[in-house]
Structure 1
Amino acid sequence: MSLPKCALTCGNKKLTQGCFRGNGKFPKDCPTCTENEILDSTLSKYTSNKKIKKIFNAAAKVESAGYCKWTRVQEALEFAKIYEAKRIGIASCVGLMEESLLLEKLFENHGFEVLSACCKAGAFDKTKARIPEEDKIRPGNFEAICNPIAQAEFCNKYKTDLNFIMGLCIGHDALFTMHSKAPSSTIVVKDRVTGHNPAAVFHTANTYYKSLFGK
């Protein structure tokens, strides 16, 4: 059984992209043609599951009103309003606490209650979580673990309606999302090299980062 390869078959805008254009032209191995069972079952969830429907409809309203006009930050704010959230959770990297404070104030200025949780909560040295000393950035020194599960549990305890990730490490963002009871979205994706703009690597794939792609 071959894996779906949408990026390969439709990654070039000159190709069909029939699912986007609605012209009925699809590559022979397009999942639109080969994965009918999954597609039919997922479509019904958008209309039958109340929680999913609420998120999905709010997302549609944000896209419709703010397409190419609103930044990600404003989209997050407007989504929270449309979703009718009352209490917002912010799970932040310690390196983005200043930015998270600005976000916290933004939401508060628009009438939301806000919980913000730093990734280093607990101040546990990495060795307490059985991370080997040699896997520290600076072996031999105190180095606090990131604690995304605790961040999620803080949000769960205080019953946030909607959570936003601010630059959690790769993997830690997944753990936060796994343990959060409230829906979670991301405002900042961590990339310490590109100023938190991972897409920059793709924009320079033929120049500065060509060696990464084997060019």
Structure 2
Amino acid sequence: MKLNCLDCNTKNCRKNGADCFGLKEKSLDVYGDENTLTTVRSSGRLVDDGRAGTLSRFQEVIEFCTLQGYKKIGLAYCFGLESLAMNIREKMSASGLFLIPARCSMGGVKESDIDPEKKSEVYSCNPAGQAVFLNENADFVIEVGLCLGHDVIFHQQLKVPFTVLIVKDRVNGHAPLKGIQDYSV
């Protein structure tokens, strides 16, 4: 691939509507779906008319769920962040949203059940189980602090719309931007 967005100096896609990759028609097909268009409109209401930068990500999530008419909000979270998950449930409930929590260890799966090479009797995280449970019970899912790799499995198995509220980054207090800024080789 010769074209590279980071190396482009003209930014003609943004300035003049250039379609350097031949994506326009395929993209418009996606946006032609009524559910996708509803999502685009809800997203726009969070940033249009000078609202960009006026809401925290958490406030955006609450408002987005309300705009979309989601009733049952799944919360996929890490056991290590359970007190935060309880706080999220309290605040979302106060906003009129019904939260369906899904702890990473739900399902009682042992590490050795997943990987026969492991002899451990430790109960494992079960991102596939979280996804199955939330696919059956939630209209929308919020992810909070799943481990890298577990989040990949979770996303691959999830069939309902979702967003990531918090990415696990133990070193930087779950703020991975700091890790990027501080990174040096």
What is the TM-score when the length of structure 2 is the normalising length?
0.89
Q: 2:98 aligns with which of 100, 113, 118?
A: 113
Q: Do 2:110 and 2:120's aligned partners in 1 also have CA atoms closer than 8 Å?
A: no
| 3-state SS in 2 of match to 1:181 | coil
Unaligned 5+ residue runs, structure 1? 27-31, 134-139
- Larger RCO, structure (CA 8 Å, separation 6 or more): 2
Task: Please state if 1:69 is matched with 2:63.
Answer: no
Q: Structure 2 vs 1, CA of residues 86 and 19 (structure 1 numbering), >3 Å: closer, same or farther?
A: same
- RMSD over aligned CA atoms reads 2.1
| Aligned pairs (5 A) from 1:76-87 | 76-87=61-72
Unaligned 5+ residue runs, structure 2? none
Task: Please state if 1:98 is matched with 2:76.
Answer: no
Q: Structure 1: which 4+ aligned runs deviate by more than 6 Å? A: none
Corresponding residue for residue 148 of structure 2: 170
Task: Please state if 1:146 is matched with 2:131.
Answer: no
Query: Within 1, Cα distance between the matches of 2:59 and 2:75?
Result: 15
| 3-state SS in 1 of match to 2:172 | coil
Query: Within 1, Cα distance between the matches of 2:2 and 2:151?
Result: 26
The residue type paired with residue 104 of structure 1 is R
What is the TM-score when the length of structure 1 is the normalising length?
0.77
Corresponding residue for residue 137 of structure 1: none
Q: How many percent identity over aligned positions?
A: 28
How many matched pairs?
184
Task: Please state if 1:18 is matched with 2:12.
Answer: yes
Deviation, 1:103, is: 1.1
The residue type paired with residue 134 of structure 2 is C
Deviation, 1:4, is: 4.7
Task: Please state if 1:187 is matched with 2:170.
Answer: no
Corresponding residue for residue 4 of structure 2: 5
The residue type paired with residue 178 of structure 2 is A
Work out which of the two has the higher radius of gyration on C-alpha atoms and give 1 or 2.
1
